[in-house]
Structure 1
């Protein structure tokens, strides 16, 4: 059996909510031992954060999904004895992850310089809402707020003149967590070569901007007004929503595509790359009509009939699936992305597994999320010992 690539690594997860815990989760999937350091008694606030009314074994399903395959160590960081135990863990750790607002870890004595003094080789990863400096540094790093302030809410909409629309997922949290993992792994590689630790900083805002790199780049470089100087790149028209239903901004004119109703559901229609380029060129030079427009103007045809008519004409057609339909698809079943996880008390639930495969190995684990402090005694015995 292949060894997971991060086996032998110890990660301390001080994160709350989604962004930092999602990063620690991915490191756990890849083989690291992840100890979630939580406030004694109440634990991670995410235990009581609900995206629905679903709860399992006293904690929200959101918490379960993002904290599986971890251990929990409960501590009161204001208590000198507990702080000494946490310092003992830091001395043995490879990675330290947190996502508190700027200033919080300084007050707790666990900011980068303090942790580095305890363990110079540690890779210290932190996620903030907007960075550690600037007028927005103290603002709450909440996903919907960041979506609104980053331009994401103006990226999509259902029609021209429609109000801004937030994405229905905590997308800035999750992409920031992914970016932190990339930074942490790169620094672990460097540490393996040089022995030098690192501080990795990620913000929700910067991750949200990176997510929009294509449309944002188009906006910064588009010359709508020929009178504007090339040295005034931000004097551009803002992206406008499409006149057809589509969750994409239109920095550049696009062929008539998007999501369309059929007699038995919805389909997404996109020209194939070569045809899209031709259609875009023709729409500029000859104001040519999209050949699919007439066919898509009516919803009397089934999804299968539309696919049969459009695919030979150079269009890619995909059925718009809901989750029930997706889980019934043969392709989804072959991905084998669903796994069952079990808590120490036997409570089980189904969730997804790690989306990364290495050397053909899919990373799965049956270990569910821990209760607050569930592993404190075992961790104290194995890793800390007497602190006085």
Structure 2
């Protein structure tokens, strides 16, 4: 049975991105059905093709690249050359969305900036993803995930109370920028449906990072004080943290007072309910060290597996602290089909992480594996632009392709 067309089927995306933020955005568009044409540098390609080890077994592809480049057609092209720019303009005639993450002003030097394209292609949706956005004093600076995590404040919130600031273990600044970019594109598509007009979407990684500071950002704005690093504890709820068990660790998430009361009555801690320091969540937060010290020996009395079973029976939030091996072996993760295998252009089968968006009528589709460098150059230039084999060979001989 053929896969249903995605909600973005029929739309064409010109992908001028590399590394992670931009490719995250364009892979989401591809998963939702759009045709994504990824432009890469001849011979070198996207930087992440070389972000290894690890390489996927029996291929020359990095695991990093494979993670964010499925459902894309790879076309190699030296964009600095006028002949390549002319080809891009021909592609833009039938392009709905352009996504780029060049430094501010770099594409304008090639005649491909928003101000140069908007009049010629009035329906074009042009999404720019950069470290600091198109305006402001930092706009010319390059953006890197760790740099944005540092400047965006999350590192001041992450880590043990007496330890050093810590970044998150995955590049969340890149990922959030890509997803916010995708949200902006979907909004711009709706606007274009209503008006016929495209627009530019200006995504700055620092902006998106500030936006997802969420409760901690609001905690600062309401008090003027930087929230302290709390390790794995929650800044506004207690107990909501990791505890040692008899054989490991567990996360205990007591989200409100009725849940804490249920915990105490189920596990022999009724006496705590008569203690004002434990009676309400604000009081438990104010006395978090006492809460931790009091509950630690209780939690050490059972194994992690025993606690998960007992707490789930009482409908109290909890969970083991899984390794990635545990995650991908988890029966729920497997039931939700969060990995899939795809046939790669090298001939090998690669396993990738699935799209988490579950749509009842138009679910994400997995039409093609992350491409080999330049895998679709001839197909796109001949099929979309009608170029002959001789024309393509001539461009290749000039090192344009």
TM-score (norm 2): 0.84
Write the mapping of 1:43-122 to structure 2, written as runs, cut at 5 A: 43-50=45-52, 52-55=53-56, 57-122=59-124
- Matched with 2:350 is 349
Deviation of 1:30 (Å): 0.3
Name the CA shift for 1:69/1:128 in 2 (closer, same or farther; >3 Å): same
- Matched with 1:226 is none
Name the CA shift for 1:336/1:361 in 2 (closer, same or farther; >3 Å): farther
Deviation of 1:16 (Å): 0.9
Question: Quick one: distance in 2 between partners of 1:143 and 1:285?
Answer: 34
Question: Quick one: distance in 2 between partners of 1:354 and 1:298?
Answer: 36
Question: Quick one: distance in 2 between partners of 1:380 and 1:76?
Answer: 14
Name the CA shift for 1:105/1:151 in 2 (closer, same or farther; >3 Å): same
Deviation of 1:296 (Å): 4.4
- Matched with 1:10 is 12
- Would you say the 8 A contact 2:243–2:296 is kept in 1? no
Cα shift readout 1:46-102 (whole Å, capped 9, x = no counterpart):
21123x433452221111111111101111223222211111001110000001111
- Matched with 2:380 is 379
Q: Which moved more, 1:366-375 or 1:32-41?
A: 366-375
Write the mapping of 1:292-371 to structure 2, written as runs, cut at 5 A: 293-296=294-297, 299-307=300-308, 315-359=316-360, 361-371=362-372
Gaps in structure 2 of 5+ consecutive residues: 261-278, 392-401
Deviation of 1:288 (Å): 11
SS at match of 1:118: coil
1:269 to 224, 234, 252: 252
Cα shift readout 1:153-194 (whole Å, capped 9, x = no counterpart):
112212x22110011101010111000000001111111111
Write the mapping of 1:92-241 to structure 2, written as runs, cut at 5 A: 92-158=94-160, 160-222=161-223, 236-241=224-229
RMSD: 2.6
Deviation of 1:259 (Å): 1.0
- Would you say the 8 A contact 1:175–1:208 is kept in 2? yes
Cα shift readout 1:211-255 (whole Å, capped 9, x = no counterpart):
112110111112xxxxxxxxxxxxx2211122xx4165x3x5x42
Question: Quick one: distance in 2 between partners of 1:92 and 1:375?
Answer: 17
Q: Which moved more, 1:290-299 or 1:103-112?
A: 290-299
Question: Quick one: distance in 2 between partners of 1:19 and 1:287?
Answer: 37
Deviation of 1:368 (Å): 1.3
- Would you say the 8 A contact 1:15–1:21 is kept in 2? yes
Cα shift readout 1:98-133 (whole Å, capped 9, x = no counterpart):
011112112222111122233111000010101122
SS at match of 2:147: helix
Q: Which moved more, 1:182-191 or 1:323-332?
A: 323-332
Question: Quick one: distance in 2 between partners of 1:85 and 1:257?
Answer: 56
Question: Quick one: distance in 2 between partners of 1:90 and 1:295?
Answer: 61
Question: Quick one: distance in 1 between partners of 2:288 and 2:26?
Answer: 51
SS at match of 1:358: coil
SS at match of 2:244: strand
Name the CA shift for 1:264/1:114 in 2 (closer, same or farther; >3 Å): same
Name the CA shift for 1:102/1:301 in 2 (closer, same or farther; >3 Å): same
Number of residue pairs the alignment of both structures matches: 368
SS at match of 1:71: strand
SS at match of 2:107: helix
SS at match of 2:384: helix
Q: Which moved more, 1:109-118 or 1:189-198?
A: 109-118
Question: Quick one: distance in 1 between partners of 2:82 and 2:54?
Answer: 38
SS at match of 1:104: coil
